[in-house]
Amino acid sequence: MARTITLDHITKIEGHASLKVKVDKGKVVKCELGSTEGARFFEGLVVGRPYDDATEMVMRICGICSCGHFTASLKALENAMGVKVSKQTQAMREIIVIGERIRSHATHLYFLALPDYMGYDSALAMAPKYKKQIKDALIMMKTGNEIVTAFGGRQMHPMGGRVGGFTHYPSPEQIKELIDLLRQCEKPALDTLKLFCTLKYPELSVEREHLSLLQKHDFPLLLGDIVSDTGWRIKEKDYGKYFTEYVDRWSTAKFVVKKGKSFMLGALPRLNNNLPSLSKDIQSILKKAKISFPSKNPFHNNVAQAIELLVWVRRGKKLLESYTKGFTREKITVKPKAGTGVGVVEVPRGILFHTYTIDEKGYVTKCNIMTPTCQNLKAMQEDVKIYLQQLLDQGVKKNEVPLEIEKLIRSYDPCFSCSTHFLKVDWEE
Amino acid sequence: MKTKLGQDILCHRADMNDHLSRLRDKRAKGQKLKVGVFGITGCAGCQLTILFSEKFPALMDMIDILAVPFVKEQNYKGHFDIIILEGLVSSKADKEKAEELRARCDLLMCIGACATHGCVPAMKNFMNHPEVERAVYAKVDYLNSLDATPVSKHVPVDIELPGCPPDANQIYAVLTDLVLGRPPRITHNPVCVECVKREVDCLLLQGKPCLGPITVGGCDAICTAAGHECMGCRGPTDDANLPAMIQALQDQGYKRKDIENRLHTYASLLVDEQAKMQGVKWEKKLKRKKNG
């Protein structure tokens, strides 16, 4: 492969982040948040490969959202080649993504976020005292996992689907089992929402654009225009035009800005932009808890995720119930065609953007991917600065600051949330 | 010291029996094994595989998981009986972390294709990556990017469980063996054996580019059972017959270029080594670039 490859940008991040702040006379003068994960160059690696290989390879970007990368790349490749998929294929993709969303949110809420608010080091340490809560988390994670496995053939990096459709169909018995599992999840999901409504979130309000997909009467998943809470609205294919990527020396993850400004993606923007689709019972729970949406407090992303958890458990069940007789095996016929296509989907952490250019034989000639964490990075960095200043002004003790900052970063559920558990605040005074 | 996949690797380590007898002693005294789960550059999928596994609560009962930075704030700083490591070495920081972790455990167990074979990111070794990096960043010095390589290229590894992602049942089975102080059972059969066991219709015979015949099993043939050809994510078996595999796929009408790319997706470095030994000449110019 001795070829010169031009990469538009580097691939995505998950593991390790660091933060550097500088405080001068009680004022935060410098704040650098970034990823220190090794570079992996996925977009360069798929060039020259047949389109189906590209999907298989880009899924490896992320273990938590592999189904997200799977659906985004399929959508982009299908748009590039003008392939239309059946209603059934679309439904199957939705279910697999719902499965992933349930396990991702449950993992984040219980294993990454909750211990901070309960004063524990980890969910493992919470287990003896909070048996029910951990059991709830595990049943939801298991359910999500079973859904992904039933439709994707394996629990991570699904192999059951490709451009044009699926190669693997769950049996009616499997579907029945999944419906049963989802039924068992309803109470835990409801309890999760109630639990996260009782947690005490720090006060923080940041004026910033919230972006998400828009879907009528329901929460967005794979379809819809891109909207912001300021009323801005564009079509999926135009997504790339509005955003610029830049690099800062402290991070191997690129920063993404919209007309020079930061923006937020994720469960909170999805909720803020799709409030009318919220069911009555959820509205009354929120009312009782005195949490009102739309909210500009990034800590409320946790509540938004808990709401989504319940929404997805219910929607997943409903979707599966319309296929209790099983799925019809469909023949996949795809003719390679030259073109460029964009695929925008909602993944647990926000909008995921894929675009590919395909040549007439079906080989990838260009690929660009923007993950939600890169797009949220600038917002996170700015929020850390604002929140840190707020903490300093309130006279919060220096040794309490790191946990507070970590809580903020984790509330975004970034793909390097794991690494922020390592977070070392490097004070320069 | 490099352990090879697909062999009864533990028998080849001179000190393995000592390790196992120490593990048996611990068990006799009723002590749990101290285990840490760490990750370097990767997708966190391997660690999630453990977390999502139904066996996870059982695992917690069986061993003491003292460090998992992925889900734990306070992590044990001392010496472990076993460290489970995910991810590949692609930067200076990764290398240092791998060396540090090696020094802090008796048995180092690498899980997942990144750690065992370099997985997809290792393909960058076959591109001119200083140029690639320069195209992405104005200044590359702070990236500290190295060749993307499996952990065993840098430190001795005791056990390797491949796969993208690795198989949760296999991880559990191997840990059970270690708790009991017996040599872990790691299969070195190709995926085909498991396909036959599960009575999956041969995908190769259906004309699909399946790499099952040359790929290490242990995955219970999940992909082929789902109707998707094996992509070789667990790396080639020691006795993989590359020329025959390539010929078989060419006979099915696949282009040589695509076959070569496919063979290089998950275990590019090992496949390249084997190809050299078997006299396979790549038609594509897959020349390994040396970077510092």
What's the pLDDT tens digit per position in B223-244? 998 888 999 999 999 999 999 9
CB contact under 8 A, A168 and B228: yes
CB contact under 8 A, B138 and A247: yes
- Higher per-residue pLDDT: B200 or B132: B200
- E-assigned strands of B87-222? 89-91, 105-111, 145-149, 159-161
For residue A230, being part of any structural domain is answered with yes
CB contact under 8 A, A252 and B73: no
Q: Could you give the ipTM of this predicted complex? A: 0.87
Point out which residues pair with A161 in neighbouring strands.
Answer: A166
pLDDT, average across residues B83-96: 92
Report the distance separating Cα A150 and Cα A172, nearest Å: 11
Enumerate residues 224 to 283 of chain A having a beta carbon within 8 A of any beta carbon in chain B.
Answer: 247, 249, 252
Average pLDDT, chain B: 86
Assess contact for B210 and B224: CB atoms under 8 A: yes
SS3 B136: helix
What domain range includes position A219?
Answer: 17-424
Q: Is the pLDDT of residue B6 over 50?
A: no
CATH 3.40.50.700 fits B9-180, yes or no: yes
Q: Which residues of B256-286 are buried (b: 16+ CB within 10 A; e: fewer)?
A: eebbbbbbbbbbbbbbbebbeeeebebebeb
What's the pLDDT tens digit per position in B16-71? 888 999 999 999 999 999 999 999 988 888 999 998 888 888 888 889 999 988 88
Residues in chain A: 429
Report the distance separating Cα B63 and Cα B46, nearest Å: 18
Give B207→chain A minimum CA distance, Å. 14
Report the distance separating Cα B137 and Cα B263, nearest Å: 30
Report the distance separating Cα A234 and Cα A242, nearest Å: 10
For residue A1, being part of any structural domain is answered with no
For residue A4, being part of any structural domain is answered with no
* Residue A94 pLDDT: 95
Report the distance separating Cα A154 and Cα A140, nearest Å: 17
Residues whose CB falls within 8 Å of the CB of residue B206, separated by 6 or more in sequence, listed in order: none
* Residue A228 pLDDT: 93
CATH of the domain at A377: 1.10.645.10
Establish, for the pair of chains A and B, how many residue pairs have beta carbons separated by less than 8 Å. Answer: 196
For residue A339, being part of any structural domain is answered with yes
pLDDT band at B279 (very low <50, low <70, confident <90, very high): very high
Task: From chain B, pick out residues whose CB is under 8 angstroms from the CB of A157.
Answer: 45, 164-165
Taking alpha carbons only, the member of A23, A4, A193 closest to residue A114 is A193
For residue A176, being part of any structural domain is answered with yes
Taking alpha carbons only, the member of A422, A36, A110 closest to residue B74 is A422
Nearest CB to B135 within list A6, A62, A112 = A6
* Residue A34 pLDDT: 73
* Residue B8 pLDDT: 43
Give B13→chain A minimum CA distance, Å. 31
For residue A354, being part of any structural domain is answered with yes
Task: From chain B, pick out residues whose CB is under 8 angstroms from the CB of A168.
Answer: 226-228
Count of other CB atoms within 10 angstroms of residue A113: 25
Residue A177: its H or E element: helix A172-198
Using CB atoms within 10 Å of the CB of residue A361, give its burial: 0 to 12 exposed, 13 to 18 middle, 19+ buried.
Answer: exposed
Nearest CB to A1 within list B121, B127, B165 = B127
The two three-digit tokens of residue B271, written as one number: 């496949």
Q: Which residues of chain A have a pLDDT value below 70? A: 1-16, 36-39, 249-250, 252, 416-429
* Residue B142 pLDDT: 53
How do the domains of chain B map onto residue ranges? 9-180, 191-277
The two three-digit tokens of residue A112, written as one number: 């990454």
Taking alpha carbons only, the member of B160, B163, B168 closest to residue B119 is B163
What's the pLDDT tens digit per position in A204-245? 999 999 999 998 778 888 999 999 999 999 998 888 788 887
Phi, psi of A364 (to 5 degrees): -75, 130
Total count of domains within chain A: 1
A374 touching B (Cβ < 8 Å): no
Average pLDDT, chain A: 86
For residue A178, being part of any structural domain is answered with yes
Phi, psi of A234 (to 5 degrees): -135, 165
DSSP A118-162: HT-SBHHHHTTT-HHHHHHHHHHHHHHHHHHHHHHSSSSS--SEE
Best of B32, B40, B48, B289 to substitute, by most chain A Cβ atoms within 10 angstroms, is B48
Assess contact for A100 and A308: CB atoms under 8 A: no
The two three-digit tokens of residue A394, written as one number: 């309130």
Angle between helices B256-263 and B242-251 (to 10 degrees): 140
For residue A9, being part of any structural domain is answered with no
Assess contact for A267 and A109: CB atoms under 8 A: no
pLDDT band at B289 (very low <50, low <70, confident <90, very high): low
List the A27-35 sheet strands across, edge first. A27-35, A17-24, A425-428
Assess contact for B83 and B108: CB atoms under 8 A: yes
